[in-house]
Structure 1
Amino acid sequence: MKISDIPVKLLGLTLILFLSEINVTLAQKNEKYNVLFIAVDDMNDWIGPFGGYEGIKTPNIDKLAKKGVVFKRAYCSAPACNPSRASLLTGVRPSTSGVYHNNQPWRPVLKDAVTLPQYFTANGYEVKGAGKIFHNSFNDQASWPVYFDVPHSPEPPKKPVNGFANFDWSPVDVKDEDMGDFKVVNQGIDFFGKKHEKPFFLAIGLTRPHLPWYVPQKYYDQYPLSEIKRPKVTENDLADVPAAGVKIAKPNGDHKFIKEHDQWEKAVQGYLASITFADGQIGRLLDALDKSQYAKNTIIVFFGDHGWHLGEKEHWRKFALWEEASRVPFIVYAPGISTLNGVSDRTVNLMDIYPTLVDLCKLPAKKELEGNSIAALLKNPAAPWKHPSVTTHGFGNHAVRSEKYRYIRYNDGSEELYDHDVDPLEWKNLAKEPKYAAVKSELAKSLPTLNAKDAPTVKESGE
């Protein structure tokens, strides 16, 4: 059929539809991105995309990893909930603010800080938070036009079950629907089901796998005790660690209890079960987004606030400057920008989230932010990058992580150095070997030049 044979009216209608499609496409390109900000508490690198534990079941995080870019060398600014979250949400490093620990309220020393959600609100976004975004004790009401608090989760009738105090693990005879994180995710699902006239910033914070590891029985059942594997450790791992590091590890505390009460496998089981429970909630949230009208125009940022030790370096919990305490799961998906199934080996930090979202969403630049935009790494995960990652734990204690080395300097001047190319588990401290003097000198250039005095503390802080 020739064009001359097509009725004029049909040609006109075809042209109108064609131009409409172009206009829709252009409109989509000019739309502001929405942001889904997913914070997970105490989740280390054991999840599937990071390969930390063989046999972990995290299908939903795995699916997100294939969609966006996985940052294999991502680290927290501080290995504790409060300083990590306060710093990434304000753009101010712990060494600049003096907020180093969980018992230090951050807002009194950062009175003028404009938090990430505040900045999005100021730039015309609809902003909502649900669950644990800031440290629970010091949530910032000024940051949230709308906020859904952290709901209580069920606990065993008699506790502790296997551990002591909050350091405990056990299945609970409840349904997923009874768990606080389930209710938090419901807030996100409901949000995606509504019409939003403005672009939005939605922050969803999950509490598990934070202690205590109380989750429904079905998640424990996925990890039979007979199949549990302990982390790889070596005898006398603290022998070449300076006294400042041994003091942080506290080998005669949690680790001694675990060994004396034969709880290592049970504790690992509890942690794995809690991760898989969290993964299920993340899946519910992401499925709701995928089914919504916002799926094609929403940036997803997924991260854990710090790492977690399960016996490595004779240490449990976070609160340390080694790899397991500071390495975090970090995945970013930006429609039309991020590489599909991308993997980056560059050293990035949670401090980079704020400037990256400002960059991607084309908000006015904030030069005072102490992180770096990783937008270039989303486009090309192997792009040149000259930013070692810095983690701080307490006044004057820092770790610098390059792609090859971890260098730790404590406030008494003592040091640790690990070559990750040959020693990924950080078993051999090279700091005293003369041939590494130049390596230490180069890494030390990234240490903070400002070490703010400790912010005031309060008695109650939680973990």
Structure 2
Amino acid sequence: MKTTHFKAFITCLTLILIFGCTPKEKPKKKYNVLFVSIDDLKPTLGVYGDTIVHSPNIDALAAEGITFREAFCQAAVCAPSRASLMTGVRPDSTRVWHLGDKFREINPNAVTMPQYFSKHGYHTVNIGKIFHNYMPDSVSWDEPDLRPSRYLKKDWLKRDGETFYISPKVNASQALKRDSLLKLRPVRYADGWNTGPAWEAADVHDTLYYDGAQNELAKKTLTRLAKMDKPFYMGLGYFRPHLPFAVPKKYWDLYDPKNIPLANNPNIPKNAPLQSMNSMYELRHYDGFSYLPKPTQPYEMPLDTIQKLRQGYYASVSYIDALLGQLVEYMKQIGIYDNTIIVVWGDHGWKLGDHNSWGKMTNYNIDLKVPVIIRHPEQKNKGISSYAITELVDLFPTLCELVDIEVPNYMQGTSLVPLFENPEQDWKSAAFSQFHRRPKVSADGKRYMGYSINTAKYHYIEWYSWNAKKGIRGELKDIELYDRVKDPYETINIAVGDSLNQIKQELSAQMVNGWVSALPK
């Protein structure tokens, strides 16, 4: 052996003995994750074809990423939808079926997305609403439930970010109402603070409303996280456009309420069963709306009130859009934007007079369809849209694959990463959702579970009686069928009669076979 070769051999052998392997390049730092939840956000965005809304910042983010145009939530209400998304399994597996169900009490050993990322070397931080408001789930985060300093008052620790107003008069009224409510029952949603008007348009700086204040906290936190020697996963949950529509006046001024079109489907679907509709108790809770009956009963809301509510929703969307734009610009300034995956999602849709109703809590697509936008720093195909059927339960495995973490084998969703390369490829044949209709809010005082399946052509729903204690379905009570192509606003239930029996049988069988049978081939 030549002397030079022998020296090289000795050098390599020495490196192996010292380091246990041959020398390698320094591994590239893993991508950070900014996981942005926008409460009650339906696809009211320019990138989804809404020509009225002002959403330039989210649209700009979409222009760098991929927009999923046919995304569905698993349940059209906060707690079940978020529990499913954050654990990667569906509501019948989480057993979170309505607002009061707490997934951590039901399954103490559940592993959430931030928990899983923390186990794989990520520093996880929570600001705002990621799980349900009063369930921040400290187990999931290295830094749970961070809040702006001025909201850390003792009496506000159980209060939700959506309940704050600017008006001193409203604040005084809230305190009086809360005292009265807590005397009647000491344990209440939002600790009794969720009272007040359905809207507010104070002429103040963005940071004086809660979402703006927590946006500033997010900036400070990102500055700190950027200096860490490990990647971060930040869950940032904005509270608007959830009621009340309380946002700075300048966002209301973006819209002339008379120019915002009214709902395309202002009536309950023809032939729809009573249990299909929500009760509107959410809006009824706010000042001046206690007169509202259930949507199944006739009522007349003044046109100017309808216009005001629709304007408030749009103003709230634009407020959050502006805040997210400010945050993205700040990420660029501190040098972390180019190494951060950003996911923007809504937890369910929202009716703005659609189906004679306001709010969510149905199995109709106005409530099930949600925005999902993912921006990856090194995405080759930028500004693309996918019309493949996708679901919120897909986000957990998708993010695992994007950051090169092993996908847990119990996931009930599918990684969307292949759609980044080819958004037009064959994908899922259906999306699955459900809704638990409780006796105190159902039109006939009975309990139901409604199961929904959406294919490219049809939306099929089966309603069963439901045993809440055992968590099992009983007798089939009603079915609904909507033609998604001919009747996209779901105005007529065509399940009535025998003319479509074969289609109903096929969809029912597909529902029984479940989500596994609908996976991409």
Deviation per residue, 1:355-396 (Å, 9 max, x gap): 111111121220111111111112211121124111111163
Number of the residue aligned with 1:399? 452
Which of 189-198 and 173-182 deviates more? 189-198
Partners of 1:391 and 1:246 lie apart in 2 by 15
Number of the residue aligned with 1:253? 294
SS of the equivalent of 2:411 reads: coil
SS of the equivalent of 1:358 reads: helix
* Amino acid in structure 2 at the alignment position of 1:365: V
> Which blocks of at least 5 consecutive residues in structure 2 are unaligned?
1-24, 152-160, 174-193, 282-291, 437-447, 465-475, 515-521
Which of 298-307 and 246-255 deviates more? 246-255
Number of the residue aligned with 2:496? 432
Partners of 1:97 and 1:144 lie apart in 2 by 19
Partners of 1:57 and 1:110 lie apart in 2 by 41
Partners of 1:165 and 1:436 lie apart in 2 by 47
Number of the residue aligned with 1:305? 347
1:197 aligns with 2:229: yes
Partners of 2:327 and 2:103 lie apart in 1 by 30
* Amino acid in structure 1 at the alignment position of 2:489: L
Partners of 2:197 and 2:307 lie apart in 1 by 14
Q: Kindly tell me: are residues 168 and 253 of structure 1, through their superposed partners in 2, closer, same or farther at Cα, counting changes over 3 Å?
A: farther
Partners of 1:83 and 1:299 lie apart in 2 by 25
Partners of 2:269 and 2:356 lie apart in 1 by 8
Residue 434 (structure 1) shift = 3.3
Residue 289 (structure 1) shift = 2.2
1:414 aligns with 2:478: yes
SS of the equivalent of 1:88 reads: helix
Q: Kindly tell me: are residues 404 and 31 of structure 1, through their superposed partners in 2, closer, same or farther at Cα, counting changes over 3 Å?
A: farther
Q: Judge conservation of contact 2:68–2:373 (CA < 8 Å) in 1.
A: yes
Number of the residue aligned with 1:56? 53
- What is the aligned counterpart of 1:243 among 251, 274, 278? 274
SS of the equivalent of 1:286 reads: helix
Partners of 1:290 and 1:63 lie apart in 2 by 14
Q: Judge conservation of contact 1:124–1:198 (CA < 8 Å) in 2.
A: yes
- What is the aligned counterpart of 2:255 among 219, 223, 227? 223
Partners of 1:257 and 1:271 lie apart in 2 by 21
- What is the aligned counterpart of 1:266 among 302, 305, 308? 308
Deviation per residue, 1:32-73 (Å, 9 max, x gap): 22111000101111111112x431100001101111111111
Q: Judge conservation of contact 1:249–1:313 (CA < 8 Å) in 2.
A: no
Q: Judge conservation of contact 1:45–1:324 (CA < 8 Å) in 2.
A: no
Q: Judge conservation of contact 1:73–1:348 (CA < 8 Å) in 2.
A: yes
SS of the equivalent of 1:104 reads: coil
Number of the residue aligned with 2:113? 116
SS of the equivalent of 1:307 reads: coil
Q: Kindly tell me: are residues 356 and 415 of structure 1, through their superposed partners in 2, closer, same or farther at Cα, counting changes over 3 Å?
A: same
SS of the equivalent of 2:134 reads: helix
Residue 262 (structure 1) shift = 4.6
Number of the residue aligned with 1:4? none
Deviation per residue, 1:251-288 (Å, 9 max, x gap): 83379666158511011011111111111111111112
Q: Judge conservation of contact 2:310–2:352 (CA < 8 Å) in 1.
A: yes
* Amino acid in structure 2 at the alignment position of 1:382: E
Deviation per residue, 1:1-55 (Å, 9 max, x gap): xxxxxxxxxxxxxxxxxxxxxxxxx867x4322111000101111111112x431
What is the TM-score when the length of structure 2 is the normalising length?
A: 0.75
Q: Judge conservation of contact 1:95–1:448 (CA < 8 Å) in 2.
A: no
Partners of 1:82 and 1:166 lie apart in 2 by 23
Provide the aligned length of Structure 1 versus Structure 2. Answer: 420
Q: Judge conservation of contact 1:249–1:320 (CA < 8 Å) in 2.
A: no
Number of the residue aligned with 2:408? 366
Number of the residue aligned with 2:205? 175
Q: Kindly tell me: are residues 90 and 233 of structure 1, through their superposed partners in 2, closer, same or farther at Cα, counting changes over 3 Å?
A: same
* Amino acid in structure 1 at the alignment position of 2:54: K
* Amino acid in structure 2 at the alignment position of 1:319: M
Number of the residue aligned with 1:444? 508
SS of the equivalent of 1:288 reads: helix
* Amino acid in structure 2 at the alignment position of 1:93: R
Q: Judge conservation of contact 1:184–1:205 (CA < 8 Å) in 2.
A: no
Residue 154 (structure 1) shift = 2.7
Partners of 1:253 and 1:173 lie apart in 2 by 34
- What is the aligned counterpart of 1:133 among 122, 130, 135? 130
Where do 1:23-38 residues align within 5 Å? 30-38=28-36
Cα RMSD of the aligned pairs, angstroms, is 2.5
Q: Which has the higher contact order (CA 8 A, sep 6+)?
A: 1
Which of 353-362 and 392-401 deviates more? 392-401
Residue 339 (structure 1) shift = 2.5
Residue 299 (structure 1) shift = 1.2
1:382 aligns with 2:382: no
Q: Judge conservation of contact 2:46–2:55 (CA < 8 Å) in 1.
A: yes
Q: Kindly tell me: are residues 97 and 217 of structure 1, through their superposed partners in 2, closer, same or farther at Cα, counting changes over 3 Å?
A: same
Where do 1:260-339 residues align within 5 Å? 260=302, 262-337=304-379, 339=381
Number of the residue aligned with 2:286? none
* Amino acid in structure 2 at the alignment position of 1:303: W
Partners of 2:512 and 2:88 lie apart in 1 by 15
